[in-house]
């Protein structure tokens, strides 16, 4: 196969676009998709400061690399979780990525904030750690963005992540989640604007970009998670994409165009947010779910009983 643009031998074959590219033309394609996402959804205005959440995986590193190449004012944020065998390797890897690229890096340590993930896991007594960990991370993202005066918080979610989440929300016809899903959520009530500039690119395309740009990803995955989220949904959608190239982006873009607004009118308005009495993060309760978890962990350490601080984590807004 030849490169669609320059007719050199194609090295990246993209069935969903029914085409292939040589590395240079693939980079142009990749940059074009990111630029289009940013423009279509007014994600970043000129001169805005962007905080990119870096897990150490290929998606978030590729995103930081690409935004920097596009001339954005990028700072990295890593949430260090204190997980033995995984967190130190991730942090070292991210430092080694940021330093040569001149990307400043902020590190938020959850153990220093009373929330080492192994301790949270113990305090949850067998209940799944992943959703609590997700809350703790989003809480840290938001706090770092607010305290650092950043305009935008960017994450490395790609097309596969977004369509799998949309599919899961659709299977449940969850009007509240469906009305709130999208690649750009505006700043409101103490939250920074949240953007997903890779939403038009698949996991495969991001992996090709990382590989061709020489960006390694972390080899020490979290021992508590079984891998990518929504794995089953991703497999189903990949099958569909195989028989109907372009189905994923059409599903997602048409949802944004035709579906989301309809769910907004069904979902009604969300409960009002007020600052958490302990940490100031926006919450629908007096204190937020993350402060509740911190209290549970502290009580467990002191050998005290505390009522379930994880209650309300599911509907907590932060």
Contacts with Zn ion by CB under 5 A lie at: 276, 278-279, 281, 288, 291
Torsions phi, psi for 14 (to 5 deg): -120, 90
Query: Which one, 19 or 142, has the nearer CB to ligand FES?
Result: 142
Q: Give me the 262-301 binding string for ligand AMP, x by CB under 6 A, dash otherwise.
A: ----------------------------------------
For residue 224, state whether it binds ligand FES (rule: CB under 6 A).
Answer: yes
Quick one: tokens of 3? Answer: 């490169």
Residue 184: strand, helix, or coil: strand
Using CA atoms, how far apart are residues 290 and 277, in angstroms rounded to an integer?
12
Q: Which does 131 bind (CB under 5 to 8 A by kind): Zn ion, ligand FES, ligand AMP, none?
A: none
Query: Which one, 117 or 288, has the nearer CB to ligand FES?
Result: 117
For residue 133, state whether it binds ligand FES (rule: CB under 6 A).
Answer: yes
For residue 129, state whether it binds ligand FES (rule: CB under 6 A).
Answer: yes
Using CA atoms, how far apart are residues 252 and 291, in angstroms rounded to an integer?
35
Q: Which does 298 bind (CB under 5 to 8 A by kind): ligand FES, ligand AMP, Zn ion, none?
A: none
Number of helices followed by number of strands (H, E) in the chain: 12, 10
CB of 256 to ligand AMP, least distance (A): 19
Within 13 A of 47's CA, how many CA atoms are on the CB side? 0
Q: Give me the 186-225 binding string for ligand AMP, x by CB under 6 A, dash otherwise.
A: ----------------------------------------
Place of tokens 């750690």: 129
Q: Return the residue of 157, 194, 248, 300 that touches ligand AMP, per CB under 6 A.
A: 157
46, burial (CB in 10 Å: exposed 0-12, middle 13-18, buried 19+): exposed
CA-CA-CA-CA dihedral for 274, 277, 282, 288, to nearest 10: -120
For residue 155, state whether it binds ligand AMP (rule: CB under 6 A).
Answer: yes
Could you tell me what percentage of the chain is helix, strand and coil, using 3-state DSSP and rounding each to the nearest 5?
A: 50, 15, 40
Cα 36 vs. chain centroid, distance in angstroms? 19
For residue 225, state whether it binds ligand FES (rule: CB under 6 A).
Answer: yes
* Binding window for ligand FES (CB under 6 A); candidates: 56-64, 144-152, 220-228, 297-305: 220-228
Using CA atoms, how far apart are residues 84 and 252, in angstroms rounded to an integer?
37
Which 48-67 positions form the footprint of ligand AMP (CB under 6 A)?
Answer: 53-55, 57, 59-60
* Binding window for ligand FES (CB under 6 A); candidates: 15-23, 32-40, 103-111, 217-225: 217-225
Query: Which one, 156 or 190, has the nearer CB to ligand AMP?
Result: 156
Cα 270 vs. chain centroid, distance in angstroms? 22
Residues that bind ligand AMP (CB under 6 A): 53-55, 57, 59-60, 77-79, 81, 137, 155-157, 229
């Amino acid at each position: 196969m030849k490169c669609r643009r320059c007719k050199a031998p194609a090295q990246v074959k993209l069935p969903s676009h029914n085409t292939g590219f040589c590395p240079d033309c693939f980079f142009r394609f990749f940059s074009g998709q990111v630029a289009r996402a940013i423009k279509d959804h007014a994600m970043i205005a000129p001169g805005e400061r962007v905080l990119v959440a870096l897990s150490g995986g290929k998606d978030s590193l590729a995103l930081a690399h690409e935004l920097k190449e596009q001339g954005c004012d990028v700072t990295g944020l890593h949430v260090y979780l204190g997980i033995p065998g995984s967190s130190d390797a991730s942090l070292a890897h991210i430092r080694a990525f940021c330093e040569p690229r001149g990307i400043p890096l902020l590190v938020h340590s959850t153990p220093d904030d009373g929330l080492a993930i192994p301790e949270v896991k113990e305090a949850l007594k067998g209940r799944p750690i992943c959703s609590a960990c997700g809350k703790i991370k989003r809480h840290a993202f938001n706090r770092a963005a607010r305290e650092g005066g950043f305009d935008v918080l960017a994450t490395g979610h790609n097309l596969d992540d977004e369509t799998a989440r949309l599919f899961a929300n659709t299977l449940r016809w969850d009007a509240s989640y469906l009305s709130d899903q999208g690649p750009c959520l505006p700043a409101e009530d103490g939250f920074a604007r949240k953007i997903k500039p890779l939403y038009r690119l698949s996991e495969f395309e991001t992996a090709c970009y990382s590989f061709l740009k020489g960006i390694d990803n972390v080899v020490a995955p979290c021992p508590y998670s079984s891998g990518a989220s929504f794995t089953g949904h991703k497999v189903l959608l990949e099958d569909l994409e195989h028989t109907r190239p372009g189905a994923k982006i059409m599903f997602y873009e048409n949802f944004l165009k035709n579906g989301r607004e309809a769910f907004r009118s069904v979902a009604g308005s969300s409960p009002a947010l007020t600052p958490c009495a302990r940490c100031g993060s926006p919450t629908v309760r007096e204190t937020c779910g993350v402060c509740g978890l911190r209290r549970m962990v502290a009580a467990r350490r002191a050998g005290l009983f505390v009522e379930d601080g994880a209650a309300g984590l599911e509907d907590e807004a932060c």
